[in-house]
Amino acid sequence: MTASDPGPPVQLAGAGKAYRVYRRPLDRVKEVFWRRPCHDPLWALRDVDLELTCGETFGLVGENGAGKSTLLKLVAGTLRPTVGRVRVAGRVAALLELGAGFHPDESGRENVLLMGALNKVPTRALDDYYRSVVDFSELPEAVLERPVKTYSSGMFMRLAFAAATAVEPDVLVIDEALSVGDMHFQKKSLDRIMYFRESGRTVLFCSHNLYQVRSLCGRAAWIHQGRVVALGATEEVVTAYEAHERARTERARVAAPASGAAWRPVAAASAPVRLVAVTIETPDGVNPTVIETFQPVRFVIEVDSHEPRPFHLGLAIRRNDQENVFGTATHFLHADASLQGVGRQVAALRIPAFPLLSGDYALNLYVLDDTGLQVLDMAEGILPFRVLHAGREFGLVHLPHEWELPS
């Protein structure tokens, strides 16, 4: 860092925050008078190393109580880290939880003027600042004369967003703000965030709306139990978080082994046909951990057949919440398309352009008798892989589509 290069706009190094939890209200008083700790520390955040760059919109995702708001408050300067360092270059404005920073008994107008003064808006510029906040919020003057405790959450957020962004901060911290307010105001707020990004300002954005995080943020971090467990390109981080959330919600038991070599067929050694090996081939190699949407993919299945009787193969792709996404078998297309013969047999299922969107998946494989009814051997939840989609479509699968727009 030099005088001409102020360094990253936001930098956290080994930052952690422990809240003080008092078992009884009296313990707080005792602590003051007895001058010895009467609280339990609750570590809401630990070991956070994070650097944001100028002009980036950075997303934070994580489940309730993960520590996201705590991190935002450290950056906003409303909390101090218990350990480590938090450094923010330039003016920071924050939209934290509803009500933070505003005095409920004061009017909207007084609160806005106070916010301007706190953010060092020069006295001669306060009128202009106030006017720009009012214009952006679109709240009538009569409303601005009322105490903010009488505002609806939407009205409150309109004023808070307008006041925080009108100070033209270098770093803008937003906690869930965009989920409040009507569509018109959400659109205005998003436009303002875009403008911030384009004018080289840094935005730290936390939301449970993963569509918004994907749309707005180039990079993101997933906070889990107070620690950063994933940090990088938004699509990768959000996909990993979504997979975790699905597994948690569905209480899935993901018993998938780490590689194809780790699974064993369930059939007895005497079974007429046994699975020997399964591999996934893409242009990136064999058994990749990541498949990109639209890549050509081959699932190659090797079996050992001990009898000359025909048999069939079945393959299903399942998501990590155990939902079958797609299943097929050799006898589905042609009843006589069986495999036959004694010895090693290799078959492949080829998907020219893999249509699944971002998510975590694994394979289920079945060897079936000539009727397709009896399972001779099987392996479930094997070769787990992650799909990443570079485009912005969301959901489970990419459907061929086109937009027809008025000319």
Ligand X SMILES: Nc1ncnc2c1ncn2[C@@H]1O[C@H](COP(=O)(O)OP(=O)(O)OP(=O)(O)O)[C@@H](O)[C@H]1O
Q: How many Cβ atoms from other residues are within 10 Å of residue 88's Cβ?
A: 22
Binding flag, residue 207, ligand X (CB under 6 A): no
- Is 272 within 8 Å of 306 (Cβ atoms)? yes
| Interacting residue with ligand X among 2, 4, 32, 64 (CB under 6 A) | 64
Rank residues 17 and 319 by Cβ distance to ligand X and give the closer one.
Answer: 17
Residue 28 CB, nearest distance to ligand X (Å)? Answer: 12
Binding flag, residue 21, ligand X (CB under 6 A): yes
Q: How many Cβ atoms from other residues are within 10 Å of residue 328's Cβ?
A: 14
Query: Which SS3 state, helix, strand or coil, does residue 32 take?
Result: helix
How far is it, in rounded angstroms, from Cα 318 to Cα 240? 16
| Interacting residue with ligand X among 65, 77, 327, 395 (CB under 6 A) | 65
CA atoms within 13 A on the CB side of 366: 17
Indicate the helix (H) or strand (E) that contains 261.
none
Binding flag, residue 22, ligand X (CB under 6 A): no
Rank residues 70 and 132 by Cβ distance to ligand X and give the closer one.
Answer: 70
Binding flag, residue 42, ligand X (CB under 6 A): yes
Rank residues 19 and 326 by Cβ distance to ligand X and give the closer one.
Answer: 19
Residue 214 CB, nearest distance to ligand X (Å)? Answer: 18
Indicate the helix (H) or strand (E) that contains 333.
helix 330-333
Residue 192 CB, nearest distance to ligand X (Å)? Answer: 23
How far is it, in rounded angstroms, from Cα 12 to Cα 1? 15
- Is 291 within 8 Å of 354 (Cβ atoms)? yes
Q: Check the CA dihedral 76-78-79-85 and report its sign.
A: positive
Query: Applying CB under 6 A, which part among 23-31, 63-71, 154-162, 349-357 lies near ligand X?
Result: 63-71
| Interacting residue with ligand X among 11, 57, 70, 234 (CB under 6 A) | 70
How far is it, in rounded angstroms, from Cα 255 to Cα 273? 24
Would you give the DSSP letter of residue 369? -
Residue 73 CB, nearest distance to ligand X (Å)? Answer: 8
Residue 361 CB, nearest distance to ligand X (Å)? Answer: 27
Binding flag, residue 44, ligand X (CB under 6 A): yes
Size of the site for ligand X (CB under 6 A): 12
Rg of the chain (C-alpha set): 28
| Interacting residue with ligand X among 12, 66, 273, 303 (CB under 6 A) | 66
Residue 49 CB, nearest distance to ligand X (Å)? Answer: 18
Binding flag, residue 19, ligand X (CB under 6 A): yes
Binding flag, residue 69, ligand X (CB under 6 A): yes
Residue 172 CB, nearest distance to ligand X (Å)? Answer: 17
Tokens of 235: 């699509």
Residues in the chain: 407
Residue closest to 388 by CA, chosen among 286, 284, 301? 284
Residue 319 CB, nearest distance to ligand X (Å)? Answer: 24
Binding flag, residue 41, ligand X (CB under 6 A): no
Q: How many Cβ atoms from other residues are within 10 Å of residue 115's Cβ?
A: 23
Rank residues 70 and 305 by Cβ distance to ligand X and give the closer one.
Answer: 70
How far is it, in rounded angstroms, from Cα 234 to Cα 388? 11
Quick one: 233 exposed, middle or buried, by C-beta within 10 A (0-12, 13-18, 19+)? middle
Residue 42 CB, nearest distance to ligand X (Å)? Answer: 5
Name which of residues 347 to 386 contact ligand X (CB under 6 A): none
Binding flag, residue 296, ligand X (CB under 6 A): no
* Residues engaged in binding ligand X (CB under 6 A): 19, 21, 42, 44, 62, 64-70
